[in-house]
Structure 1
Amino acid sequence: MSAVTHTLREALRGRRPLAAVWWEACSVGRAARAAWRGPGRERDLVVQSLKAAGAALIAWAVAGVWLDDPMALMAPWVALVLVQATVYSSVRQAGQQFAAICVGALVASGAQAITEDNTGALVLSLPVLMLAANWSRFGPQGIYTATTAVFVLASGTTVSAAAVGHRVGQAALGAVIGVAVNALVLPPVHLRDVRENLAALARESGDLLHAVAADLRETQWDAQNAADWSRQAAWLQRRLDALYSARSWSRESLRLTSGPLRRLTRRPTGVPPEDEDQRWSRITGNLTALTRTLAVAADEHRTPVPPEGPDLDLYARLLRLIGDACHAEAGCLVGERDGADSGAATEETMEELHRRLQERLREHAGQGASRTAVLGALLLQAENLWAEIVPDPHEPDPHEPGPHEPGPHAPDHPHKPNPHEPAEQ
């Protein structure tokens, strides 16, 4: 299969339109396979799409078949668009959309009564309704003021209070069906996204630490390496923003949803506490500061001198172990427990590396300020990362599945460096 993919890739090289179609088809195929394999974002999208289609069909069956309404278009249309990503957003947007539809139907009917001509009514009503669509109270549903007017005038029915009431009633029927389907049939609960984003943030932080450690030990690192590290650190900030967004969606998805119905979704009932978001925000900031310090040290036009030889090797080994701890935490977040028994040995190794780096820092203190400043700054950032990332074996695991309340951050391990205390000189 890989040979076929490679052949197609070579054939499409340099043909941008065909290559774009090919990559899009590959993306769709990956999403379909992910939805088939098991729970995840792709399967959630499939469920939501089928629910929206089902809500529209139910609304059509009620309005068009059961009630035998010749103008049953409004009900399935509203039901379709109100199956939103959360029940709360469905209810909120149902109110906004219903108000927008009422305004559109009333203005269009009034314009038709004044002009007695559909074209003249469109000319009179659409500019007013498009301006009204920008009213903040309508939110993203404001455009339905104008589209409702188009539907009302295109239907060709005469203007009357009964006709306007009929159109508004169809919209209300569709809104009730759409919200009911979203709330009662596998209600969307976005708890998995928080855990997945935390795991990705931990994994990518470990990847960055491993990349820095490898470059410091195996290559003659320079400004280009430092620029690559800085780009990876900037990507971590975007991942942190995605975590905050997922946390917001998680909170909203629990509003107006029934506990028993949430359990039917077979999704995790608890997420890591919000304190974890703040902890990883600090870790991201420390990684950014570390890469910035290395970038300054690599700049030939700056005064600070980077450490060399044994100092770099010790520091790279320390970063490598901290990166291993990040990967271990990412595994815990997704249910993997491999290597959990090596925590004590890792802690002892890190303490030894930290002690030797402190000794090297004291030696450099008598040789010059520039090299001492860089090594001290790097060591401080490593201590900050160590204090935040490396788990204390005496602490309970905050990533155990199940609900738990966020609590204050546990105190530092007795042998773990405190980032708020000055390093030994």
Structure 2
Amino acid sequence: MLVQSAKATLAATGAWLLATLVLRLPQPFLAPYAAVFLVEATVYRSLRGWVQQVGSVATGVLLAALAGQLIPWQAVALAVVVFAGLLAGSWWRFGESGVWVGVTGMLVVSYGTAAEPVLLGDRLLETALGAAIGVAVNTLIFPPLYGERLVTAAGRLATALADLLEATSDLVRHDEPDGVDSLLSRTNDVRSQVLAAEDAAGLTREGRRLNLRRGRPGAGARHERPLRTLIALWSPLSQLVAAVRTTSERQEHPFAYPWPDARDALADLMHCLAGAVQSVAAVGEPVELDGCRALLHRLEQRLVTAEDDGVPARLGLGAMILPARLLVEKLEDR
């Protein structure tokens, strides 16, 4: 944030000096304004914003010029330009810059330059100049990368997933009623961490587009795949937690808890999965899954041979084995 603020200051100052001292434009207020707004969070956004910004400002200036030629009363011209500019700015191709169609037109009419073609040309020139300087500064001087966000997001998500698996393991092993509320709280925490991880991954990918520093370690390419794996674990884990909550909250439900030996094996499997999930976030470290595979195989064999143990218990065990297998498969495909 400090670097981007310094860059925006540099861009605004440079745009103002170039417009006043070199081009000698009168009242070049749009140059530093455009420069500041084009120092975006990513290089790609700056380049896209340059097109949108210049387009929206040019449209606002043209609207003001048209109103200045056709409407002799400044107040009426101002109202017409603002109304028409806000409508035109809602076009989706203008993006977030669309609001400046009406605002730019309002500024031009307010300054009384709407009827002077030379000054209108100056407005367009200074806007394009300021926007170009903003893009250049953001592209050439420490173009922003967000690889460190992937590292942070992966670490936090791995910890949240592992904690949820450990809490689920304890609930399965000990069947404590108070553990259900804790499980729900941890589930909500994981959901929020998944959303944060998806945002970090999207921003990091966008940050590398058209970025001169995209090949550097700080670009986060090494951590992108582990983070995708962790995000993919959320769906089967949420299914597993839902099955456990159902069996623990409603004992009269057909999905009853499985037999004691199977419950212990399930708890051990979840504990083993928690350790594997933590290893995913450590890039370059091996993820040990042999223990998880052995426990999963043991549980599946228990389900196949449990013909005389009753339908409710078999259903309960099956409901937990399926998402557990999906978790193992996601970890194997990392």
**Cα shift at 1:354:** 4.5
Distance 2:258 2:220 in 1: 48
Given candidates 88, 112, 122, the residue that maps to 1:166 is: 122
What is aligned with 2:325? 383
Number of aligned positions between the proteins:
333
Letter in 1 for 2:11: A
Of the three residues 141, 144, 147, the one matched with 1:185 is 141
Q: Distance in 2 between matches of 1:97 and 1:268?
A: 27
1:367 counterpart residue number:
309
Moved more, 359-368 or 315-324: 359-368
Q: How does 1:233-272 map to 2 (within 5 A)?
A: 233=187, 235-258=189-212, 261-262=213-214, 267-268=218-219, 270-272=221-223
The answer to whether structure 1 residue 328 and structure 2 residue 279 are counterparts is: yes
Q: Which amino acid aligns with 1:126?
A: V
CA distance in 2, matches of 1:274, 1:231: 28
Q: What RMSD, in angstroms, separates the aligned Cα atoms of the two structures?
A: 2.9
Q: Which residue number in structure 2 is paired with residue 283 of structure 1?
A: 233
Would the alpha carbon gap of residues 185 and 72 (structure 1) be closer, same or farther in structure 2, given more than 3 Å must change? same
Q: Which amino acid aligns with 1:380?
A: L
Deviation at 1:275, TM superposition (A): 8.6
Conserved? CA contact 1:230–1:288, under 8 Å: no
Cα gap change, 1:89 to 1:355, in 2 (>3 Å) = closer
For residues 156 and 273 of structure 1, do their structure 2 counterparts lie closer, same or farther at Cα, with a shift above 3 Å needed?
closer
Label 1:120 to 1:70 Cα distance change in 2 as closer, same or farther (>3 A).
same
- TM-score normalised by the chain length of structure 1: 0.69
Q: How far did residue 208 of structure 1 move?
A: 0.6
In the alignment, is residue 154 of structure 1 matched against residue 71 of structure 2?
Answer: no
Q: Which protein, 1 or 2, shows the higher relative CO under an 8 Å CA cutoff with sep ≥ 6?
A: 2
Contact kept? 1:226, 1:291, Cα under 8 Å: no
- Name the TM-score, length of structure 2 as normaliser: 0.86
Cα shift at 1:52: 1.3
Q: Note if 1:105 corresponds to 2:105.
A: no
Q: Within 5 Å, which residues of 2 pair with 1:15-414? A: 45-157=1-113, 159-218=115-174, 220-222=175-177, 225-226=179-180, 228-230=182-184, 232-233=186-187, 235-258=189-212, 261-262=213-214, 267-268=218-219, 270-272=221-223, 277=228, 279-298=229-248, 299-307=250-258, 309-330=260-281, 332-333=282-283, 347-348=290-291, 350=292, 353-354=295-296, 357=299, 360-361=302-303, 364-389=306-331, 409=333
User: Unpaired runs of 5+ in structure 1?
Assistant: 1-44, 392-408, 411-425
Structure 2 runs not aligned, ≥5 long? none
Change beyond 3 A, Cα 1:98–1:362: closer
Q: Identity percentage over the alignment?
A: 28
Partner-residue secondary structure (3-state), 1:144: helix
Give the SS at the match of 2:218: coil
Following TM superposition, by how much is the alpha carbon of 1:96 offset from its aligned partner in structure 2, in angstroms? Answer: 1.1
Structure 1 residue 196: Cα displacement: 3.4
Higher share in helix: 2
